[in-house]
Structure 1
């Protein structure tokens, strides 16, 4: 197999050429299949526009849509075709539409199929294009009426175009016979498009390279979207392909007690999971490291699924972290995401772009609960998260993820277990002491070095995050209902000191 892209016809679709290892091999016939609405025509128009942009002659042969419909559709996507792309609107000969001229001794399909093929070849010979799109094969399949005749017709077209040296894209809307794989064995490559409708939210689209002769390609499913400007594909992330050299230094949070709990901080190029019930301060812990990174002169990226940005800005500003100013100064990229609208592939691409283009050294994903809502199933979430975290780690980006557990105290469960993926796990808890709700933090796991095994109480106030001494006199803090093992006078004295402060 070869990955040489010198003799490739680029598709003009962002991301698709990466999936195809450079594009479509010239002088071959390819199949683009998918049900109506998946984006075949849009991709075909982008393919022709890409050829026209480099001076190639391009021909669009349509058996199903009129030229006016095609130009109107392309204009809605801001894909103006101009005069550089020839559109040949193939209609049956007038004699076949005249009842008096119709043959009675021969099947009309014999004449129609022959005339259709003849008109396609004549249109090609007249223009001699480098790129051709035929839309769609369903019409030819209906005219053929049998699988044998259909295969013979496709083979005849393939041999004709092979002699001409053109790169041909056949479209199939899979409406006449979705089980017919005749073309798959004939063409050089097959791109399959799918559209899915979730129970809630906008439709999701994905593509897969079913076949590509003599060429390596990126296998599996890849998400894509149709938006103004055309189709954008998001190649499935493979962390093994991305590695950079960096020093694994320790990054401090700016809170001495927290850094002490973490054994001096977190390592660059590692991932930290902040897990606990709602309201314990998971977001604040992550943004504390963002604040410290900005003060060091680094950039950060924050992706928020669960909270409106205006509310987040106000809340953090009241705690001493002016996140909005960091964004305005260009030090932090912050983005609010709608789990019902964004696909996992698109989200991974956005994170990848912020690390590559924005040079973000700290990445905060808040929260995995919202990210899970964008996933079709839990197993896929684990695989996506594994590749994304591995990619970020290999780029030297330090990642903070938050997970909200179900419940407030006692036995709590997480919607998905990603603790084994993270390098460091920080557990936040509520606990009750003498009629007051308090918060505690502990480090459960750290792969990259030693850490404190203590449980520390922490408070959130106008001055930000404050950690106290280890709760050495308590037993059962992580269960939420601890027992005090020291002297009562000492506990009361400690509570009074906390209240005075």
Structure 2
């Protein structure tokens, strides 16, 4: 048993890796912190993480509950597979059986002065008895109701704060915001304030996020951070800040394995760059991204595919028919494929998944198919662009080659993308349908490449059992990108029909 504060760390870890990262290590010891949020946002789960982290370090922990019973708390812990050990003491300030006692009913329910004084006395007595290093008080709404006035409530919170300071305990006060949600009394008293929020989209699962509102004398990661409550507890995904990640890597050109594609790209795609593949539905955007991923695996490198739009089995079957065996590539161990459900996944969690793959798996090629599906995970376009900016910059600094697809609305002529991220990408590959000689054909062009020179031509391409065939530049046609070109030459540069 640890008995001296000198033998424990300077910060009280919350037991939640992502939250500790946001808080620069955890909660400063010997201070009072406020954890606020509406019912159902996960306050009790955070509190249990906090107490269990202390118990694992040999510290005494105390959970003082005014709203939930000990049985409910232990059931909640059991739902996450946790068992609260002997270092975690639970004290019910008002045991349920006392409500049946007529003598207690009179003092508890009708005399607020006696109620508040009795509640405070019981809190101080249990602290004297256990002398805990970590304390959770749940919840302040009950104390606010007992106090009945803002002045008495503030005095009571100050009294509790000064009392705990004497024992050098780290205290987490929970507030469910069910009464006087605009009251900022505890904000001014607490050393730090963490706010949990739950958002309910029009469709899909609820989204949860947290924000550190205040933390005296400590630098922390500001802004909103997504989090989820899973069967094994609460997981926080700190907002990705690309500026914090810098790495050294050798910049080199990556070949697609198709000579004409490499010629269009001025030799290939560079490591540490991002490529956007833009075009209407059915033009082969996913195929081009997978061609580069398959080429990476053949070189002995690792690649990761994050698939938003297509069912995995259908994707495997479709690619097999055009010459790319994803199952065989996956069996090498160098191809990671993740199906992403946009309705169930927040952008912060997605960024965390990609970052984990790159950091832990040494991934050098990343495919995100598609940004349309990613946008469905976050309807606010401006925030989406900011998320993508940080994610792409992070991947670039890790030396990964990133490929993204965006499906445009329409088939020919003037088409619009649901979100414009062309300025973020280092290379933009444009795909188009066009009509010629009574058939609908496909054209490819490179409209942007920051990392080197590229062809400014437009070439026809065909998708068949041999994957992709790219023809010569369509120099005799005008208006290919408009969809209905004019033939200006004498030789036919179009690809000959091949057996499908």
* Interval containing the TM-score (normalised by the shorter chain): over 0.9
- What per-residue deviation string (whole Å, max 9, x for no partner) do you get for residues 78-131 of structure 1? 122133311101117959952598479x97100000000100111111011111
Is the CA contact 2:407–2:417 (under 8 Å) kept in the aligned structure 1? yes
Is the CA contact 1:274–1:426 (under 8 Å) kept in the aligned structure 2? yes
Q: 2: CA distance between counterparts of 1:322 and 1:201?
A: 33
Q: 1:78 to 1:103 in 2, by over 3 A?
A: closer
User: Are positions 1:431 and 2:437 aligned together?
Assistant: no
Q: 1: CA distance between counterparts of 2:146 and 2:428?
A: 63
Corresponding residue to 2:354 among 343, 347, 351? 351
**Once the 2 structures are TM-superposed, how far is the Cα of residue 366 of structure 1 from its aligned partner?**
0.2
Over the aligned positions, Cα root-mean-square deviation in angstroms equals 1.9
SS at match of 1:456: strand
Q: Report what 2:257 is aligned to.
A: 254
Residue correspondences, number: 492
Stretch of structure 1 that moved more, 173-182 or 85-94: 85-94
Is the CA contact 1:361–1:397 (under 8 Å) kept in the aligned structure 2? yes
Corresponding residue to 1:152 among 155, 158, 162? 155
Q: 2: CA distance between counterparts of 1:19 and 1:360?
A: 25
Instruction: State TM-score, norm by structure 2.
Output: 0.96
SS at match of 1:360: coil
**Once the 2 structures are TM-superposed, how far is the Cα of residue 77 of structure 1 from its aligned partner?**
1.4
- What per-residue deviation string (whole Å, max 9, x for no partner) do you get for residues 138-192 of structure 1? 0000000001000000000000100101111000000011001100000100000
Runs of 4+, deviation exceeding 3 Å: 92-97, 99-104, 494-501
Q: 2: CA distance between counterparts of 1:102 and 1:455?
A: 87
Q: Report what 2:447 is aligned to.
A: 444
Q: 1:338 to 1:96 in 2, by over 3 A?
A: closer
SS at match of 1:312: helix
Corresponding residue to 1:213 among 211, 216, 219? 216
Q: 2: CA distance between counterparts of 1:334 and 1:463?
A: 23
Is the CA contact 2:254–2:269 (under 8 Å) kept in the aligned structure 1? yes
Residues 42-441 of structure 1 mapped to structure 2, 5 A cutoff: 42-91=45-94, 94=98, 98=102, 102=106, 108-441=111-444
Q: 1: CA distance between counterparts of 2:119 and 2:428?
A: 66
Q: 2: CA distance between counterparts of 1:433 and 1:51?
A: 72
Q: Report what 2:3 is aligned to.
A: none
Q: Report what 2:13 is aligned to.
A: 10
SS at match of 1:283: helix
SS at match of 1:372: helix
Q: 1:128 to 1:279 in 2, by over 3 A?
A: same
Is the CA contact 1:382–1:418 (under 8 Å) kept in the aligned structure 2? yes
